[in-house]
Amino acid sequence: MNQQEQEPTENAITGPIGQLTLQLVAMPSHTNASGDIYGGWLVANMDIAGEMAASARAEGRTATVAIDSMVFLRSVKVGDVIGFYTQLESVGRSSLKVHVEAWINSLNGQCPVKLTEGRFTFVALDAQGRTRLLPNAGA
């Protein structure tokens, strides 16, 4: 099979799902002793992006209550520009599910590369930290 006949990768076909919510550069301070970016740094920023999307829909404070399984597809290197994409999946009376994907965004015109994805569940909170109904819940 020559290069033109090769099937495109899944990433090239689909691209990121959702809206670019957060974009960061992986820095040396985010690395372990081997120089690789911590997976926890990636998860923490996925949580931040998900919370931004959830709080916008909730019109206020939210808290993470669950993260569905995640698989790390490739390592992140210092200097990689990571885009965090979010899409609201479902809305309940007080909870929201947000699909979050992390992609390495290219600065040199190449296709972005998917790092991981997960579903984050958030609950809307009032000023005292108690669960509250979402605006237009069920609408």
Average pLDDT of every residue of the chain: 87
Q: What is the DSSP letter of 58?
A: H
User: What is the pLDDT, as a whole number, of residue 139?
Assistant: 54
Instruction: Return the amino acid letter for 26.
Output: A
CATH pick for 14-124 out of 1.10.10.60, 3.10.129.10, 3.40.50.1220, 3.40.50.970: 3.10.129.10
If you average pLDDT over residues 110-136, what whole number do you get? 93
Rounded distance between C-alpha atoms, residue 85 and residue 100, angstroms: 6
pTM: 0.85
